[in-house]
Amino acid sequence: MDSRLHADEAMGPAQVSTGHLPADPDVDALVLEAWERYRGVGDGKVADYIPALARVSPDLFGICLVGVNGVVHAAGEVDHPFSIQSISKPFVFALVCQALGGGRARESIGVNATGLPFNSVMAIELNAERTMNPMVNAGAIATTSLAPGANAEERWRFIREGLSRFAGRELAMDTAVYESEAATNQRNRGMARLLQAYGRMYSDPDEATDVYTRQCALNVTARDLAVMGATLADGGVNPVTHERVVDPDRCRRVLAVMATAGLYEQSGDWLYETGLPGKSGVSGGLVTISPGKGGVGTFSAPLDAAGNSVRGQLVTRFLSERLGLNLFASQAA
Ligand SMILES: NC(=O)CC[C@H](N)C(=O)O
């Protein structure tokens, strides 16, 4: 983790907010201040284990905040497309919970943190329940295997259309990223087979891994992530299209698993710093949800050792602090 995340850096007055976000011009100015403050940070490394990801510029940096009122605040490259990667996980989990019921999803996948890296095989071997959480690869591939549909194409359509409803626009797959990951995802395929051996895979493991690889290659922007996050913040209604995507109860459950494991083995540090559920992806995206208030989407490709965007974490912590978003802050303070 970047040491700055632990530093006692002066960020201006921390606030405790009791209602909605402050007035719009203030938030616009704050988002711009956040972008300027962290654009020069050069720490972190662009992911290269999926070869196509290594080609992304480390300089691209976008921040977008969307309130549950649908108002957009943006700074930097918020319309630059990148593959969603692991940020698909909470949204697919939400869709699967909606389709199957949260109880069945919890029994079939689990909701405890593994405390181990996102692609850990040991997390499967060490735990009697095998999959523990939909925010890491094993649980996420199992989640994808539960998507309704008679075959892989139907399951893929369910996921692509569902994620598109969260974003409020039709999302398309980046074929180069898909092909690059499909050619190098032996580890994920191995984990899916291992889960099958333990009875924790719910459709053909190779097909489920392929649909999961496609879902990870869907292109989004920081703006899309903010809208998707705001939909979870808004109890499942997309605040831009006003379409209900999932029920409020699903949102609560999804936000709980994001809080336990959204930033993998560093989820405790993240929650300690921001007090908010978030989800990162190896392409450099990060989505954070302030329930009842809005969603923050950031994009900056350089990652820390756990695979979380360095600038994304810094800037989101700053916004959480300055907007008084921490869920654990006493409203009476
Ligand atoms: N952390 C991530 O974003 C990982 C997603 C990537 N598609 C993988 O399965 O390895």
Q: How far is CA 308 from the centre of its chain?
A: 10
Q: Give the residue range(s) of CATH 3.40.710.10 domains in the chain.
A: 3-85+219-323, 88-216
Separation between Cα atoms, residue 316 and residue 310, nearest integer Å:
10
3-85+219-323: which CATH architecture? 3-Layer(aba) Sandwich (3.40)
Specify the pLDDT at position 19: 52
Positions of the chain with pLDDT under 70 = 1-25, 331-333
Could you tell me which CATH number the domain at 88-216 has?
A: 3.40.710.10
Ligand 1 center to 282 CA (angstroms): 6
Specify the pLDDT at position 133: 92
Specify the pLDDT at position 128: 86
Ligand 1 center to 109 CA (angstroms): 18
ipTM tops 0.95: yes
Ligand 1 center to 203 CA (angstroms): 20
Specify the pLDDT at position 6: 40
- Which three-class secondary structure string do you get for the chain? CCHHHCCCCCCCCCCCCCCCCCCHHHHHHHHHHHHHHHCCCCCCECCCCCHHHHHCCCCCCEEEEEECCCCEEEEECCCCCEECHHHHHHHHHHHHHHHHCHHHHHHHHCCCCCCCCCCCCHHHHHCCCCCCCCCCHHHHHHHHHCCCCCCHHHHHHHHHHHHHHHHCCCCCECHHHHHHHHCCCHHHHHHHHHHHHCCCCCCCHHHHHHHHHHHHCEEECHHHHHHHHHHHHCCCECCCCCCECCCHHHHHHHHHHHHHHCCHHHHHHHHHHHCCCEEECCCCEEEEEECCCEEEEEECCCECCCCCEHHHHHHHHHHHHHHCCCCCCCCCC
Ligand 1 center to 137 CA (angstroms): 7
Nearest to 177 by CA among 51, 295, 20: 51
* Ligand 1, CB cutoff 6 Å, lining residues: 85-86, 118-119, 137, 181, 188, 216, 281-282, 307
Specify the pLDDT at position 7: 37
Specify the pLDDT at position 23: 63
Our mutation pick for probing the ligand 1 site, out of 50, 215, 286, counting the most ligand atoms within 8 A of Cβ, is 50
Expressed in angstroms, the distance from the first to the final Cα of the chain is 30
Closest approach atom of ligand 1 to CA 118: 1
Specify the pLDDT at position 22: 65
Closest approach atom of ligand 1 to CA 137: 9
Ligand 1 center to 323 CA (angstroms): 30
Closest approach atom of ligand 1 to CA 213: 7
CB environment 212-239: b (16+ within 10 A), e (fewer): bbbbbbbbbbbbbbbbbbbbbbbbbbbb
Whether 67 contacts 52, CB under 8 Å: no
- The annotated binding site is made up of 86, 137, 181, 188, 212, 264, 282
Our mutation pick for probing the ligand 1 site, out of 45, 56, 84, 119, counting the most ligand atoms within 8 A of Cβ, is 119
Residues facing residue 220 across a β-bridge? 82
Nearest CA to ligand 1 atom 9: 137
| pLDDT tens-digit series, residues 190-220 | 999 999 999 999 999 999 999 999 999 999 9
Ligand 1 center to 16 CA (angstroms): 35
Our mutation pick for probing the ligand 1 site, out of 85, 184, 218, counting the most ligand atoms within 8 A of Cβ, is 85
